[in-house]
Amino acid sequence: MKSYKPEKIFVERAVQDLPITRNVLERLPEVPTEYIDSRESLLQESQRWNPTLARTKKSLILAQYKGCFFKPCPGSRAREGLKNVCCNYFVINYASNCHMECSYCYLQSHLNFPYMTVYANCEDLLSELQVVFSESPHRSFRIGTGELADSLALDLLTSYSVPLVEFFAGQKNAVLEFKTKSNCVENLLDLEHGGRTVVSWSMNPRFIQEREEHKTATISERLEAAERCVEVGYPVAFHLDPLIYYESWEVDYKDLIAEIFDRIPASSVSWISMGSLRMTGPLKEMMRKRFPSSFLPLGELVPSEDGKMRYFKPIRVGMYRQVLGWIKDQNPTLPVYACMESPEVWRKVFQSTPSEEELGREILHSLV
């Protein structure tokens, strides 16, 4: 996988002396750097000349995050009143945007600030988490960093993983998840992680990765990175999301699952999630514009209760049942869950509809 190298770096003065900022600038001394008071000035400028998303991704912003880092997963917030099955997941947004180019990525129609951004005030993030964990010592937390950015794609520049892993190693009631399509795990290998960090990979068959997941690590590279993490004791996980329906999907996904378990010991896999292809209307139009050769917007998708378009319910249920069966053939006791699906779909696939707390406990059972 080719590393990200911006054409220009913008640094908010509020973070110019912080460790994350120093890491980036020391590793990219040849890249022009400009110091600014606020990233908002860049947003105003971009609105005037309307650059393409591919263009804005060539600039890296090192900024101060002024809000709350720690939040419930947007899946649970989006489903309030819809009573969909959620997994008691939380997120911390350490960065925003991704230099990789997956055709189906929701970020391309979701973010109102199109530049690559890393929030360098990591100490504020850790202080906030310490308060949360201390105030709820009897509650278990599963927290991910992969909502608005890939968890590790920029890590060779930022080393953001280092303070996060070291912090979570000392927490008794919390587990950190890095979710990635990269193979950037070098910084993780020598850390004392205490089994409190799970490294996970989003996976699709090679047919999809080569056509729809541009600038990402290959499937072989992802599995090699997973092997390296397992060798030093990290629990790992996999996300079969989005599941994509096409002519040879059954053969390809079955082979992918077999390959995962051929290379990764079942005892090292903490969970696997599934989720079907889904998109909003604006995302579908964005995909057609940015990825005209993609076949994904041409699929037969219908509106769901949450406003997203998905495959017809019988297709989704059939895919989930098949994939679940192949996973359980490899590891009958492994926690497997469906992401952003309704109780009706859950009943048809899993014969149950757990509460958010019950599902969260099941997923974390082996770690907390």
Q: Give residue-wise pLDDT tens across range 27-37.
A: 999 999 999 99
Could you tell me if residue 329 is inside a domain? yes
Q: CA angle, corner 356, sides to 353 and 357, nearest 5? A: 115
Token pair 């953001």 is at which residue?
Answer: 160
Could you tell me if residue 35 is inside a domain? no
- Paired with 36 in beta bridges are 12
Could you tell me if residue 31 is inside a domain? no
Structural tokens at position 174: 């919390």
pLDDT at 80 over 60: no
Token pair 């599934």 is at which residue?
Answer: 274
Mean pLDDT score, 148-158: 98
Structural tokens at position 347: 């009943």
Q: Say if CB 163 and CB 119 are below 8 A apart.
A: no
Strands (E), 64-154: 70-72, 89-92, 95-96, 101-102, 116-119, 141-144
Instruction: Indicate the pLDDT class of residue 78, thresholds 50, 70 and 90.
Output: very low
100 SS3 class = coil
What is the H or E stretch that residue 273 is in?
Answer: strand 269-276
pLDDT at 83 over 70: no
Token pair 């308060």 is at which residue?
Answer: 131
251 SS3 class = helix
344: containing domain: 74-110+141-364
- For 322-330, which contacts have Cβ atoms below 8 Å and span 24 or more sequence positions? 322/250, 322/253, 322/254, 323/240, 323/243, 323/253, 323/257, 323/274, 324/274, 324/349, 324/350, 326/253, 326/254, 326/257, 326/258, 327/257, 327/272, 330/257, 330/258, 330/260, 330/261, 330/266
Q: What are the pLDDT digits (tens) for 182-210?
A: 999 999 999 999 999 999 999 999 999 99
Could you tell me if residue 2 is inside a domain? no
pLDDT at 276 over 80: yes
Least confident of 15-19, 75-79, 126-130, 232-236: 75-79
| pLDDT, position 142 | 97
| Other C-beta atoms lying within 10 Å of the C-beta of residue 167 | 19
| pLDDT, position 77 | 46
Q: Say if CB 97 and CB 43 are below 8 A apart.
A: no
Distance of CA 304 to the CA centre of its chain: 23
Could you tell me if residue 7 is inside a domain? no
Q: What does pTM read for this prediction?
A: 0.95
Least confident of 68-82, 130-144, 258-272: 68-82
- Tell me how far apart the alpha carbons of residues 229 and 189 are, in angstroms, rounded to a whole number: 7
| pLDDT, position 262 | 98
Could you tell me if residue 66 is inside a domain? no
Mean pLDDT score, 249-263: 99
DSSP-assigned letter for residue 13? G
Least confident of 9-13, 43-47, 169-173, 319-323: 43-47
CB burial of 168-192 (b: ≥16 within 10 Å; e: otherwise) equals beebebbbbbbbbbbbbbebbeebe
- Please report, for the domain that includes residue 288, its CATH number: 3.80.30.30
Q: How many domains does the chain have?
A: 1
- Mean per-residue pLDDT over the chain, rounded: 94
Could you tell me if residue 306 is inside a domain? yes
Could you tell me if residue 54 is inside a domain? no
The C-alpha torsion from 263 through 366 and 361 to 256, rounded to 10°, is: 10
